[in-house]
Amino acid sequence: MPKDPDNALQAGPRHVAIIMDGNGRWAQARGRPRLFGHHAGARRVREVVEACPRLGIKYLTIFAFSTENWKRTQVEVAGLMSLFRRYIVKETNTLKNNGIRVRFIGDRVRLDAKLTELMDTLERETQDNDLVHLTVALNYGGRDEVARATKRLARDVAEGVLRPEDVDEETLPKYLDTRVLPDPDLVIRTSGEARISNFLLWQSAYSEYEFIDTLWPDFTAAELERLCLNYGSRERRFGAVPA
Ligand code: IPE
Ligand code: IPE
Ligand code: MG
């Protein structure tokens, strides 16, 4: 661990992505329904976002709902969708006044019109902010994103806008939902599961990972700071030999 914490934070991650997992187990441990855990989880987001400027995090991306989460019960899915709507309404002013620019990634087609309207408004209301770029992955799946990107890319080829021989690894990211974002430096997953569950597959090819046991509703800014300091002491090699 580096000795000077301020220096260590300067070497901290610029883009942190979080798989916010464990809400269900947190609720279960308290004998409460899963949605109770989702509400507690949503309340953790504000503290984490607000800690970002101090920790040198410019981009924060959070996984809120995956393309696979539709497999859950209708009650849970409907409860989550209602939570997202309420969360956006409740947090819009705070996000706007605190310099947070919000973006959503994922496929909006399956989301209801009321929710996508709120998402559009929040993006528009915060589009001039630049302190922290918060990206919410909602109905997001890495494979689905690559498939949708490939569809758009294929259309450009068919229309003669793009030549197949010009397609390289710089091309596809321009078609991904994340096209304006840098790749994540650090991906955190809470709740003890060591898998990525279809999150940012292309973008996290060289990310550092932290799999921690904390359940998402118990996650704090202090724990984020610890993980950022830990990141500062790691050596990223990107395939090269150590300097
Ligand atoms: C993460 O918590 C939130 C979503 C996937 C929407 P879970 O609901 O997956 O909680 P566990 O994994 O069942 O504890
Ligand atoms: C990943 O968590 C998705 C989100 C955190 C939104 P899951 O709980 O859905 O992942 P699995 O099912 O354990 O892989
Ligand atoms: Mg889970």
Structural domain span for residue 57 = 5-143+182-232
Residue 166 lies in a domain: no
- Strand, helix or coil at 208? strand
Strand order in the sheet with 132-140: 100-105, 132-140, 59-66, 15-19, 186-189, 208-211
Q: Which ligand has an atom closest to residue 24 CA?
A: 1
Residue 18 lies in a domain: yes
Active site includes 98?
A: no
pLDDT in tens, 25-75: 999 999 999 999 999 999 999 999 999 999 999 999 999 999 999 999 999
Pocket test for ligand 2, best of 26, 197, 211, 219 (most atoms within 8 A of CB): 197
Residue 30 lies in a domain: yes
Residue 111 lies in a domain: yes
SS3 helix, strand, coil % of the chain, rounded to 5? 45, 15, 40
Q: Which residues neighbour 166 within 8 Å (Cβ) at sequence distance 6 or greater?
A: none
**pLDDT at residue 4, rounded to an integer:** 58
Report the binding-site residues for Mg(2+): 21, 208
Closest ligand 2 atom to the C-alpha of 193? 13
What's the distance, CA 194 to chain centroid?
Answer: 17
In this structure, which residues have their CB less than 5 angstroms from ion ligand 3?
A: 21
Residue 173 lies in a domain: no
**pLDDT at residue 232, rounded to an integer:** 86
Q: Measured from the CB, is residue 63 less than 6 Å from ligand 2?
A: yes
Identify the band that residue 233 occupies on the pLDDT scale cut at 50, 70 and 90. Answer: confident
Closest ligand 2 atom to the C-alpha of 69? 9
pLDDT in tens, 121-152: 999 999 999 999 999 999 999 999 999 999 99
**pLDDT at residue 2, rounded to an integer:** 46
Residue 239 lies in a domain: no
- H helices then E strands: how many in the chain? 7, 6
Mean pLDDT lowest among 109-113, 191-195, 231-235: 231-235
Q: Which helix (H) or strand (E) holds 150?
A: helix 142-158
Residue 71 lies in a domain: yes
Closest ligand 1 atom to the C-alpha of 26? 14
For position 20, which CATH number holds? 3.40.1180.10
Active site includes 69?
A: yes
Across residues 7-20, what is the average pLDDT?
89
* pTM over the 0.75 mark: yes
pLDDT in tens, 172-226: 999 999 999 999 999 999 999 999 999 999 999 999 999 999 999 999 999 999 9
Q: Please name which of 171, 227, 237, 158 lies closest in space to residue 202, comparing C-alpha atoms.
A: 171
Domain count, the chain: 1
